[in-house]
Amino acid sequence: MHPKFARTAALVAVLTGSLSVATPAQGCSGSGTFWKRDNLPTVPSGPLAAAVIRGLCEGESAGVVFEMPANMPPQRLKEVVAPWGEATAGTPGFQAQLDVLIYDGVSWSGGIPNMGNLVFQLSSTGQGMPVQTHGFNVLDVSSHDIVVGLAPATGTPPVRRFAVCFRVDLNLHPTGSCATGYLANFFTDTQTQLFGCSGNAQANVMEIQGVGWRNPNTFSLGLPLCPLYYNGNWGIRCCTEDAYPAYYTTIAAGCPSTAGVSHLVPATLPRIGTTMLVVIDHLPYSVALMLMDFTNVPIDVTAFGLTGCTLQTGLTFNYACLGGGGTAVHSLAFPLDNSLLGIVLFQQAFVIDPPLNPFGGALSDAAQMQIGI
């Protein structure tokens, strides 16, 4: 076995400072879902027993595959976490630069992963992720709009898989090389040499030059990597939030008819595969015309006979709404189509009231909505 694949036990301390990455506090900053598949503490409070896997060269990658329940909505990544440790004295400050790769729709064929769709690569933005020993390095990726969980669920029980991976672009440890292994590298949650492999069977991936992506728990180069040269689970983590929350909210006040100002009250939210219902109240004749568009450019329409009114939306779509008792209901069906997720629309109702003014009506409150899941 090549010496570069040596696995060295180390005490990996909590990272208290880094180059230009975000705060290293674990869990999620604010709200969100925290993901990890290692057995290390979520919030480390001191040195950790871990194993630095010295064999990954520049151009090679470590990754973790996360499993989403079938009924979980698509997720947008907020933060990614790269474990980087020093294998001998646990010396802090050894630096490296990583690329971040995010895959969606990962599946398995034995020990060989199908990585699915590459949905994000940090280097394509002209950036890299600086890391240093030793501990968890956190990068805020919320500005990149990285969405996972759009691939169909598979398996029993059905799950959707995405992977957070880090490729080594530059390892600045002074005594390392690809031939002998780098003393600063990614670490896993297992320190001791074991007869069996303790890592999750379908959680860990490794990109090996000339080979491609493999499961390090089961891969062999003449001899199995695990448990002698690799063991455990990468300490790779991430934080996500719901990517496309469905919402419907008032953004501007309307102008009154003889029955007062009409409001748009959602009975259901705009979700794909469902019908949204919006109640329009305070209608003098229980009749209205719902206006809808992708734009929100306020226009004073007094000159058109709608005295004191401001039109808040374009006129691309309009729907007649009939009702009774001073109200009407607008219904809008959304097909079960992921391409609709995240679309933002604006609505405002024209309230029919002929005696009111030269135009014969008023405008309701205006609303903004996002199609979600």
**Mean residue pLDDT across the chain:** 89
- Looking at residue 193, what is its pLDDT? 60
Question: What confidence tier does 2 reach under pLDDT thresholds 50, 70, 90?
Answer: very low
- Looking at residue 200, what is its pLDDT? 87
Residue indicated by tokens 């379908």: 202
Domain locations along the chain = 3-242, 247-370
Query: Each residue of 144-182: pLDDT tens digit?
Result: 999 999 988 888 889 999 999 999 999 999 887 888 888
- Looking at residue 55, what is its pLDDT? 87
Residue 9 has pLDDT above 70, yes or no: no
Percent of the chain with pLDDT over 70: 91
Percent of the chain with pLDDT over 90: 68
In angstroms, the CA 236 to CA 34 distance is 11
Query: Each residue of 83-104: pLDDT tens digit?
Result: 999 887 667 889 999 999 999 9
Where does residue 204 rank: exposed (0-12), middle (13-18), buried (19+ CB within 10 A)?
buried
- Looking at residue 89, what is its pLDDT? 66
Query: Each residue of 35-55: pLDDT tens digit?
Result: 999 999 888 877 778 889 988
Question: What confidence tier does 6 reach under pLDDT thresholds 50, 70, 90?
Answer: low
- Looking at residue 177, what is its pLDDT? 85
Residue 18 has pLDDT above 50, yes or no: no
Exposure class string for 145-174: b at 16+ Cβ within 10 A, else e? ebbbbbbebeeeeeebbbbbbbbbeebebe
- Looking at residue 165, what is its pLDDT? 98
CB atoms within 10 A of CB 143: 8
Q: What is the CA radius of gyration of the chain?
A: 28
Top pLDDT among 30 and 220 is at 220
Question: What confidence tier does 321 reach under pLDDT thresholds 50, 70, 90?
Answer: very high
Residue 227 has pLDDT above 80, yes or no: yes
Contacts with 129 (C-beta within 8 Å, 6 or more apart), sequence order: 21, 80, 82, 97, 98, 99, 100, 122, 137, 139, 166
- The DSSP code sequence of 185-252 is E-EES--S--SS--S-TTTEEEEETTTEEE-TTT-EESEESTTTT--S-B--EEEEEESS--EEEEEE
Task: Pick 247-370's CATH classification: 3.40.1640.10, 3.30.10.20, 2.60.40.10, 3.10.180.10.
Answer: 2.60.40.10
